[in-house]
A and B are shown apart, each in its own frame.
Chain A
Amino acid sequence: QLQLQESGPGLVKPSETLSLTCTVSGGSISSSSYYWGWIRQPPGKGLEWIGNMYYSGSTYYNPSLKSRVTISVDTSKNQFSLKLSSVTAADTAVYYCARQSGNYYSRVDYWGQGTLVTVSS
């Protein structure tokens, strides 16, 4: 059974860079037709797609965040990572790592459990 697990700091200071890693188990991140990425949910609010990438290195970002987001993959560790720069309180959210099937804007069929990141000094 495929499992995704987020890890990283739960508290980030304003203007700094948020960094999270997702470790994939039970399957290979190098599988074709799957895209690996991030979705976030501010407390009590809805879901926002951040972006994803294909194992080959192609990346796709939400235009609303594109200038601040970097998603990268480490196939040797079966992991992928998120970096979000210049964070503000508006970036406080539960961050989910996720797998999308078919194309980069397709359905999300696997989710991590989520990790709360708070932006505060």
Chain B
Amino acid sequence: DIQMTQSPSSLSASVGDRVTITCRASQSISRYLNWYQQKPGKAPKLLIYAAFNLQSGVPSRFSGSGSGTDFTLTISSLQPEDFATYYCQQSYSAPPTFGGGTKVEIK
């Protein structure tokens, strides 16, 4: 199985901050990388697929980049509703695997 490692595991930020979350794959996954947002007690929500494609309805302050083994999710200006846990997932090979998550908290 491909292992996905996210960093940091948690971060504190203020509204308006630029936030960057990193995801690293244990082998090259081309651009088969997806990002999800999960709020407490809710199901994850797809934000970005195939590394940089914004899912319909997702605000443009979210962006993704990277290829191969290293990927980044960026929130350009953090909003109150963005405080949540973010997960990456590889869809390069079966079984699909997720990173351990990054919790974005209010500073």
Contacts and interface: CB of A to CB of B under 8 A. Distances in A.
Contact of B87 (A46, A62, A96, A100): A46
A44 B98 CA distance: 15
Classify the secondary structure of B's interface with A.
Answer: loop
Interface string B29-70: 000001010000011111001100001000000000000000
A104 B92 CA distance: 11
B94 A107 contact: no
A11 interface: no
Interface in B72-92: 87, 89, 91-92
Nearest to B55: A109
B93 interface: yes
A60 B96 CA distance: 11
A19 to B, nearest CB: 20
Interface in A68-114: 96, 100, 102-109, 111-114
B95 A109 contact: no
Contact of A111 (B44, B49, B87): B44
A67 to B, nearest CB: 14
A106 B96 contact: yes
Interface string A42-58: 00001111000000000
Given A46-B98, A46-B101, A49-B97, A107 B43 contact: no
A26 interface: no
Given A62-B95, A63-B95, A105-B94, 4 more contacts: A47-B87, A103-B91, A106-B91, A109-B46
